């Protein structure tokens, strides 16, 4: 399907509901007074894989709940790019305010609440989750706020706006190709490619990552993907934060596993366990790799460390 609409103006809130849910998925829409005069504007272009929609309407609250998702699953993400006014997005444990100068990326198949003022004007870039997963490991359990005033975020905002403005000049193939390039940049921005997070925020993320790794180091499947997913950050952003701190997720996990192993080798509660069993309990796949890493980290072998603590 490839379709577009030219500056459609609506004077009925009910007609708006039908068009809005057709584009964004089944939802419960609340407006202050459905009998009051209503005026809204909607322009969109949509292919099988992508959609771009400009929306302007009266004050409203949109709630997409679990029952809506079950009845109308979309498998899509949306990047909401405000041009004027203010809106609020709640998803998972987070609530985010957006206005011109910021953007938010949301998984439409997770329960969410969206509210905006009467003067809110925005463009939504709609993309399939399959296209995102082919490029990135973004896990949007909650809205991801992206800056749009400088750097990569500003480029994403400008391309989204230009794509909407030039939509009628594009064939379906050209439209999809342009959306492909825009999606590449959205994924990069969502993974921390903007490099605009303040130092204080990066320090907070680093501390959270170190704490999580310390608490879960002995889980055999722990890796940077699991850490990022658990903490709600992108993989690339976690990697960047650790790189700035002079380490990597692999090194951090290995070091914490070795610290746990050294404590267990010295602990009386683990005296009946073999060194291989302790290595396995700390997340190491083989005794040999554990022994090599232990000696490189502490300058002694696991056997020597156990004997020294026992003497």
Same domain, 179 and 234: no
Same domain, 23 and 168: yes
Same domain, 27 and 169: yes
d(CA 173, CA 198): 39
Contact 183, 127 (CB under 8 A): yes
Can you state the angle between helices 235-244 and 224-231, rounded to 10 degrees? Answer: 110
Q: What is the pLDDT of residues 222-244, one digit of tens each?
A: 999 888 877 767 777 888 889 88
H helix intervals, 65-171: 66-71, 129-133, 151-165
CATH number for the domain that contains residue 245: 1.10.10.60
Which of 148, 175, 193 finishes a domain?
193
The pLDDT, as a whole number, for residue 293 is 92
d(CA 113, CA 269): 50
Q: What is the pLDDT of residues 256-280, one digit of tens each?
A: 999 999 999 988 889 899 999 999 9
What's the number of domains the chain is made of?
Answer: 2
Of 237, 233, 159, the C-alpha closest to 196 is 237
Same domain, 155 and 215: no
Please state whether beta strands 86-91 and 94-99 pair in parallel, antiparallel, or not at all (unpaired). Answer: antiparallel
Range of the domain at 91: 3-193
Same domain, 28 and 165: yes
Same domain, 189 and 224: no
Q: What is the pLDDT of residues 151-210, one digit of tens each?
A: 778 899 999 999 999 988 888 889 999 999 999 888 878 876 544 455 556 777 888 899
The distance between the two most distant Cα atoms of the chain, rounded to a whole number of Å, is: 86
Res. 137 pLDDT band, cuts 50 70 90? low
Same domain, 133 and 218: no
The pLDDT, as a whole number, for residue 35 is 66
CATH number for the domain that contains residue 63: 2.60.120.10
Q: What is the mean pLDDT of residues 30-59?
A: 83
Q: For residue 248, is pLDDT > 50?
A: yes
Q: What is the mean pLDDT of the chain?
A: 85
Same domain, 185 and 214: no
d(CA 264, CA 213): 17
Same domain, 257 and 126: no
Instruction: Name the one residue in this structure whose structure tokens are 């850490």.
Output: 227
Res. 41 pLDDT band, cuts 50 70 90? confident
Contact 70, 27 (CB under 8 A): no
Instruction: Name the one residue in this structure whose structure tokens are 């929609």.
Output: 53
Token pair listed for 36: 């009051």
d(CA 180, CA 164): 14
Same domain, 214 and 103: no
């Amino acid at each position: 399907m490839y379709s577009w609409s030219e500056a459609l103006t609506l004077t009925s809130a009910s007609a708006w509901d039908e068009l809005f849910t057709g584009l964004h998925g089944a939802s419960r829409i609340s407006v202050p007074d459905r009998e009051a005069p209503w005026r809204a504007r909607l322009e969109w272009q949509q292919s099988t894989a992508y959609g771009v929609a400009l929306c302007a309407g009266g004050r409203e609250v949109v709630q997409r709940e679990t029952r809506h998702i079950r009845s109308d699953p979309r498998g899509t993400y949306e990047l909401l790019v405000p041009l004027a006014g203010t809106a609020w997005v709640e998803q998972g444990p987070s609530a985010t305010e957006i206005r011109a100068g910021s953007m938010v990326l949301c998984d439409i198949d997770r329960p969410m609440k969206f509210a905006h003022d009467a003067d809110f004007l925005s463009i939504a870039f709609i993309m399939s989750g399959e296209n995102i997963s082919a490029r990135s490991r973004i896990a949007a359990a909650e809205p991801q706020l992206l800056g749009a005033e400088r750097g990569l975020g500003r480029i994403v905002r400008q391309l989204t706006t230009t794509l909407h403005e030039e939509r009628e000049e594009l064939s379906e193939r050209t439209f999809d190709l342009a959306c492909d390039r825009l999606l590449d940049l959205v994924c990069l921005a969502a993974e921390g490619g903007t490099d605009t997070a303040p130092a204080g925020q990066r320090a907070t993320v680093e501390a959270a990552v170190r704490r999580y790794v310390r608490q879960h180091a002995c889980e055999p499947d722990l890796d940077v993907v699991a850490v990022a997913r658990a903490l709600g950050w992108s993989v690339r952003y976690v990697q960047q934060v650790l790189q700035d701190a002079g380490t990597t997720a692999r090194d951090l996990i290995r070091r914490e596993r070795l610290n746990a192993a050294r404590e267990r080798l010295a602990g009386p509660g683990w005296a009946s366990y073999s060194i291989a069993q302790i290595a396995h309990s700390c997340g190491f796949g083989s005794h040999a790799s554990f022994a090599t890493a232990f000696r490189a980290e502490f300058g002694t072998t696991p056997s020597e460390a156990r004997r020294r603590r026992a003497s």
